[in-house]
Chains A and B, each alone.
Chain A
């Protein structure tokens, strides 16, 4: 099978190949191409993705400070983590970002895109206004918001409150207000992306559905409930998961808005990723930090599997 040459046009001089290459069958040649295309990527994924993943799992079972070689301690890190009140505080913070941040940003994004989709006058301009924050650098904008949240003569928001005769607020200096303040910043940063995705979803609904509904005499509200929202379900599920994962991995905003006491005041804004960062690169407890990353991985895995589940049963 591998011997019959399909074409024998003498020695094709253009090809950078010797006589051995010419004797190979089409199929073998193709296979050689395939594996030479895939060689470097396979190496990359093995060394930069799979091996580190296994290593993270292994390190999570060790005690390791970078100085001495890692010592296997079984589930010691996990026991310590689940007994650590700081971990539970961080866990609660992380889920507060998620559980409050995701619904608020999704409802806002949906309402805005629902109306923006129908806007004809200055459509591109208004859309650009909403989209711009998505194109900014989180680290830079965190500092702008941090400035906004400062006390009166400096901070813009307190200045405005003062002008309107409203009481001053401590914002990121308060144990109770700091987390919501940071959440507002990250909702603001992600809203543009969600709006664009919702608009793409709305555009994908065939207009014949709407026409049929109107002929049937359905009102705007009924059309929204019976046609738009059900048909938009895949988009919504995607955004719920995307936004949830974003909040579960929140770091840039918190780190930059609380540099004097990262995750403060009193750890009230500290999310899981910041705890990982500090455990690994401030305390150099690499094994303990690895265990925390495995916990983060498990949470993200559950969220992603839930998405698949929801998408599958219609």
Chain B
């Protein structure tokens, strides 16, 4: 990854004359990067401090303690919210990976009357902001008894136009010969999609999965509207209510924020390379 410049042309282009400038640029970039993570560092460090130490600005606590975590986690609320968020995000992600790619594949690889119309119709929903739909969704949920349920939180996101569009773009690029060969081998259309086409677009699938998971894990607006009982809050909504309740106990609020942020941050950090690639992929195609 961090290979040194062996290309003489590049080395010549960034000749010795620019070197001092590059060192300054590098240092500034590093300082900027450290400033970017300062809020995260302070959050974590304060979560390890007692109430008396909160005003101490040192990043590394004098006497780190897990007391806050024990206090915050002891009544089980955060565990529940964590589970709710994970369940909702995983379910919605699986649904999107399945349906968005199924629809994207159908629109990319089949000739049929109405194909273009359906594609345009789905694409047009990208123009409609969630905010415009929440009032009808709320009404629908209250009539059908979906308020305050997992399904109520999840149903608006089970399929997305963004995901369908992304997957169609990728299925467009796979050659028809592969699919024809599978057809001759006697696979049915569902098997062709699932066993032949899907493995060819795994980078796009992982990009879609990461985006959907992240979007649903951090979602705030709709879960705030559709949930009213504490047991069904997702982590962001639960954290918000918890923080209001704690009012000025900042070490407790920071502990809650850390619990809401750190576990996924670590997972994402491990997967960083794939996420960056996924963001680039989706950003350029989308």
8 A Cβ contacts from A98-133 to B: 112, 115-116, 118-124, 126-133
Contact between chains at B220 and A139 (CB < 8 Å):
yes
For A133, A143, A293, A296, the residue with the greatest tally of chain B CB atoms inside 10 Å of its CB is A143
Question: Counting CB contacts under 8 A, is B20 at the interface?
Answer: no
Question: Counting CB contacts under 8 A, is B13 at the interface?
Answer: yes
Question: Counting CB contacts under 8 A, is A52 at the interface?
Answer: yes
Report B9-30 CB contacts with A as 1/0, cut-off 8 Å.
1000110001000100110111
Q: With CB as the reference atom, state the residue of chain B lying closest to A239.
A: B283
Question: Counting CB contacts under 8 A, is A45 at the interface?
Answer: yes
8 A Cβ contacts from A261-314 to B: 273, 276-277, 280-281, 286, 289-290, 293-294, 296-297, 300-301, 304
Q: For A255, list chain B residues within 8 Å (CB).
A: 220, 224, 240
CA distance A153 to B51 in the complex (A): 13
Segment at the interface with B among A72-80, A171-179, A191-199: A191-199
Question: Counting CB contacts under 8 A, is A22 at the interface?
Answer: no
CA distance A249 to B219 in the complex (A): 13
Can you report 29 A-B residue pairs in the complex whose CB atoms are below 8 A from each other? Answer: A33-B110, A33-B190, A34-B110, A41-B122, A41-B159, A56-B136, A115-B26, A116-B29, A120-B4, A121-B2, A122-B2, A122-B30, A129-B36, A133-B40, A137-B218, A137-B239, A139-B218, A141-B43, A144-B40, A196-B279, A197-B279, A200-B280, A200-B284, A211-B13, A251-B221, A255-B220, A259-B244, A276-B131, A300-B127
Question: Counting CB contacts under 8 A, is B67 at the interface?
Answer: no
Question: Counting CB contacts under 8 A, is B125 at the interface?
Answer: yes
CA distance A49 to B18 in the complex (A): 55
Count CB-based A-B contacts (< 8 Å).
Answer: 263
CA distance A154 to B250 in the complex (A): 9
Question: Counting CB contacts under 8 A, is A138 at the interface?
Answer: yes
Q: For A140, list chain B residues within 8 Å (CB).
A: 236, 239, 256-257, 260-261
Partner-A contacts on B (CB < 8 A): 1-5, 9, 13-14, 18, 22, 25-26, 28-30, 32-34, 36-37, 39-40, 42-43, 46, 54-55, 57, 99, 102-103, 105-106, 110, 112, 118, 121-122, 125, 127-129, 131-140, 155-156, 158-159, 186, 188-190, 193, 214, 217-218, 220-221, 224-225, 235-237, 239-240, 243-244, 248, 250, 253-254, 256-257, 260-261, 264-265, 268-269, 272-273, 275-276, 279-280, 283-284
Q: For A42, list chain B residues within 8 Å (CB).
A: 118
8 A Cβ contacts from A29-43 to B: 29-31, 33-34, 37-38, 40-42
In-complex Cβ contact of B221 among A129, A154, A252 (8 A): A252
Q: For B225, list chain A residues within 8 Å (CB).
A: 277, 281
Contact between chains at A41 and B99 (CB < 8 Å):
yes
In-complex Cβ contact of B121 among A45, A124, A126 (8 A): A45
Q: With CB as the reference atom, state the residue of chain B lying closest to A234.
A: B284
